[in-house]
Amino acid sequence: MKIFAWLLSLTLSLNILAQDREIEFRDLTFSEALTAADEENKPIFMDCYTTWCGPCKWMAANIFTENEIADFYNENFVCVKFDMEKGEGIELAKEFKIRAYPTLLFVDANRELVMKQIGAPRDPEPYINLGENARSEDYNLIALAENVDENRNDASYMAKYFKVMAAADMVDQEQVDQYFSQIPKDEWLSAENVEIMSSIEHDIESQIFQDLVARSDAYVAVDSTLKDVIGYSIVSALLNEAYSRKETAEEDYLALLNKVKSWEFPGKGLALFMVESRVAQRQGSEDYIEYCLEKVKPNVWDNPNELNSVAWYFFKNTDEPEHLKAAESWAERAVALEPSHHILDTYANLLFKNGKKQKALEVGKQALNVAQAEGADTQAYEEFIATIKEEM
């Protein structure tokens, strides 16, 4: 028993020590960071965040505290972070065209952008790959732009190029069209070319996208993520028309919608729901609620985020018992598919509103526990739990 206890103690100690380092963000102005980058011969790594950005907080708590990532970034970069909505961050956001959060930025001592990535991947490996590309003389943004002309016939190179540019939200659609126009269509299905298609948002009127739709089964068989790419591109195009300020916006939207409805592609029901429900929402709460009651189950029953979004809207905007009963079932389904803290919170709130206080308390505590484990802001969850207890 003593040996077992000693081994258990050692194991726990090793686990505690397993992750004991984090990225050391220096308290520097950007000018001071440039000077340090020059003196130390290192690029700058800049975490561009906002106080309201949930993924930013998750990344800070779960990625920047990984020993492998911390050691790699501390050794190879001058690490700084700026709130893009305060102080110096406001001008930096304009200078480097930062429009989404989190954005990870890499800049050399000459103030040249060498790498950029939007988003917070859940797996630590992409962060190491990103840093390696930023340090590389062949695959940073400057090198890729300089060498693209001489490598336009190299599928492997162009796949790398477009993937990096897409992560930085810097894809040039004309370059994409030019690249594919020089390739026979039977080569469009190669692994490298499918990788290009899966990494970028598409002009849905383009020849490339039309082929994606026409041969969607073949493309998705090579890379299943193309199903989401097709859907996202269609949703984006339709909503751009619907939200346009042009005089012909409604006419153009309906014309494009009818065209899309004539296409057959994977995820069609979900894509059309995402568009039509949002258009209905702009027309008024009653239109949106009526649309969702009819269309949720046949179109988004397997999509936890869309189910959660609709359920939360119902929680906030209707007191009709039948509406709330439906919303509770959607939230319950979303939790079964993906028990994230924000989805659990929606379910808990609907349970509470429907008078199921004990169950609401249990689910609310689950949401709090998950949020704490992910390093998310938990104040709203704690306040909600306190409210439930007061009502019981």
Co-location of 22 and 70 in the same domain: yes
The answer to whether residue 53 is catalytic is yes
What is the pLDDT confidence band of residue 170, given thresholds at 50, 70 and 90?
A: confident
* pLDDT more than 70, % of the chain: 95
Inside any domain, residue 31: yes
Catalytic residue among 48, 56, 79, 292: 56
User: Exposed, middle or buried by CB within 10 Å (0-12, 13-18, 19+), for 137?
Assistant: exposed
Name, in order, each residue with C-beta under 8 angstroms of 286's C-beta and a sequence gap of 6 or more. none
Asked if 222 and 194 count as a contact pair (C-beta separation under 8 A), the reply is: yes
Does residue 7 sit in the same domain as residue 132?
yes
Number of domains in the chain: 4
> Do both 119 and 8 map to the same domain?
yes
21 and 120 share one domain: yes
Q: How confident is the model at residue 14 (pLDDT cuts 50, 70, 90)?
A: very low
The pairing of beta strand 44-49 with beta strand 103-107:
antiparallel
Residue 176 is part of which domain span?
148-163+171-199
pLDDT at 13: 41
Residue type (1 letter), 6: W
- At 242-282, the pLDDT tens digits run 999 999 999 999 999 999 999 999 999 999 999 999 999 99
Helix (H) or strand (E) holding 282: helix 268-283
Confirm whether 142 is domain-assigned. no
Q: Would you state the pLDDT for residue 324?
A: 98
Query: Which DSSP category does 185 fall into?
Result: G
79: annotated active-site residue? no
User: Do 193 and 205 have their domain in common?
Assistant: no
- For residue 26, being part of any structural domain is answered with yes
Say which of 48, 53, 79, 292 is annotated catalytic: 53
Are 11 and 119 contained in the same domain? yes
Q: 11 pLDDT exceeds 80?
A: no
Residue 306: C-alpha distances to residues 273, 300, 330 (Å) = 9, 7, 9
Give burial (CB, 10 Å; 0-12/13-18/19+) of 205. Answer: exposed
Range with the poorest average pLDDT among 7-16, 26-35, 172-181, 359-368: 7-16
Q: What is the pLDDT of residues 209-237, one digit of tens each?
A: 999 999 999 999 999 999 999 999 999 99
- Mean pLDDT lowest among 12-21, 245-254, 278-287: 12-21
* 185 and 109 fall within a common domain: no
What confidence score (pLDDT) does residue 9 get?
42
Name the token pair of 209.
């996208």
Residues 10 and 123 in one domain: yes
Integer Cα distance of 119 and 147 in angstroms: 26
Could you tell me if residue 379 is inside a domain? yes
Mean pLDDT, range 16-24, rounded to an integer: 74
- Assigned domain for 69 exists: yes
User: Poorest-confidence range of 50-59, 70-79, 370-379?
Assistant: 370-379
Q: Average pLDDT in the 107-119 region?
A: 94
| CA triple 84-88-90, angle to 5 deg | 40
Asked whether the whole model's pTM tops 0.95, one would answer: no
Residue that terminates a domain, selected from 265, 300, 335? 300
Q: Are residues 293 and 208 in the same domain?
A: yes
Choose the final residue of a domain: 282, 300, 318. 300
